[in-house]
Amino acid sequence: MIEIGSITATPKIFPTSSRLTPANHWDHFLARVGWKRGEHRVEPGLYALGNPTPDSSVFITANYTLSFDTLRSALDGMDGYILVLDTQGINVWCAAGKGTFGTEEIVLRITATRLKDVVRQRVLILPQLGAPGVAAHEVKKRTGFKIEYGPVRAADLLEYLKTHKATAEMRRVRFPLRDRLVLIPVEAVHVMLPMLAVAIALYFIGGLMFALAAVTAVLTGVVLFPLLLPWLPTHNFSTKGFILGGLAALPFALSVFVRHPDWNWWRQIGQALGFLLAMPAVTAFLALNFTGSTNFTSRTGVRREMFAYIPAMAWTFAGGIILSTVFVFVR
């Protein structure tokens, strides 16, 4: 405790446990489907897991409910402290890339919770995926706490804590099919209504094929892209998206020649090019939504890619829309 005038103050510590309630599981479901995407948060601060002592370990995580709950449930049977950073409801990996899971927030939270008054030991255990946003030497210099990076997966923590040494497997970042599948509902929910609205409008402007093309381009970007990500050629998301979108657009382009054999050749080619330009641009743009969710790229790489390819997406999309519109009305 510390004294402020005649008032005695104690650090505020929230109690928690490793047990997840039905309400927690329901929150996880809503988070997975993107419902109120930014509102799945816990209050930043210091949490006591079980009955910790001044010598207990201190773990750091984000205030995204899935991050917090994954950590505490992985520490079943342990007593310790969890220092929750204010990452604005964003998971550790993405928050580290955005800068909210970082040095300044750790220093601020250590000071705000008066962590030095709570524990005697001076080691903070961070998730490995938070490393891009943290300068460990700066945290040590400004707070006296040493940073120790735990394993990639919270499930490996209990094994890691036996020796405080991570195996090569614990350090390996994976992005298997199961993890990619989890991302699809979040993105799909957010594009569903705009996609349907555009498809309906295109149906009345250009007919069924135009409506189907819009739906196909969007679903290719939010469903097929994460599923096929490891097998798509090239090293960046934009060109991967262009390639996949081009493959999705090809049947629509070829259908022009089959459905309209009586058209002039230049009209057939013009409308086919409309599909081949507009659809890949939409898929490529949507593919960029997955850059912060994978281990296939980096923060600086994403920035470079956006500056390099978004103008190309805009030009090809505009060209495709212009061609498609012109050849709807040209006879």
Q: Are residues 21 and 127 in the same domain?
A: yes
Bridge partners (DSSP) listed for residue 124: 58, 147
- Tell me which residue has tokens 């993107």: 34
Rounded to whole angstroms, the Cα distance separating 5 from 71 reads 38
Q: Which helix (H) or strand (E) holds 105?
A: helix 103-113
Q: Which domain holds residue 126?
A: 2-171
CATH of residue 111's domain is 3.40.50.11600
Q: Which residues of the chain have pLDDT under 70?
A: 1-9, 292-302, 329-331
299 vs 271: CA distance, rounded Å: 38
Q: Do 159 and 11 belong to one domain? A: yes
Same domain, 87 and 190: no
CA distance linking residue 169 with residue 204, whole number of Å? 55
**Paired tokens of 272:** 């086919």
Distance CA 311, CA 305 (A): 11
Structure tokens at 267: 């009209």
Pair (64, 6) in one structural domain: yes
Length of the chain measured in residues: 331
Rounded distance, CA 184 to CA 178, Å?
11
- Alpha-carbon gap, residue 206 to 228, rounded angstroms: 31
Q: How many CB atoms lie within 10 A of CB 303?
A: 11
Residues 87 and 199 in one domain: no
At residue 2, the pLDDT reads 41
In this structure, are residues 92 and 133 in contact, taking their beta carbons and an 8 Å threshold? no
Check whether residue 107 and residue 28 sit in a common domain.
Answer: yes
Pair (217, 131) in one structural domain: no
* Ramachandran angles phi, psi of 130, nearest 5°: -90, -5
Residues 232 and 114 in one domain: no
> What is the DSSP pairing of strand 45-49 with strand 13-16?
parallel
Residue 104 neighbours by CB distance under 10 Å: 15
Q: Are residues 15 and 59 in the same domain?
A: yes
Count of structural domains within the chain: 2
pTM of full prediction above 0.95: no
pLDDT at 302: 67
Among 171, 206, 235, give the residue marking a domain's end.
171
Burial zone of 328 (CB within 10 Å; 0-12 exposed, 13-18 middle, 19+ buried)? middle
Say yes or no: 11 and 155 in one domain.
yes
CA 189 to each of CA 124, 222, 226, 263, 282: distance values in angstroms, whole numbers, following the listed order: 37, 10, 15, 39, 17
Which residues, at least 6 apart from 85, have a Cβ–Cβ distance to it below 8 Å? 44, 60, 61, 62, 63, 95, 100, 101, 105, 106, 109
On whether the CB atoms of residues 238 and 287 are closer than 8 A, the answer is: yes
DSSP-assigned beta bridge partners for residue 7: 4
Residues 16 and 136 in one domain: yes
Give the per-residue pLDDT at 8.
41
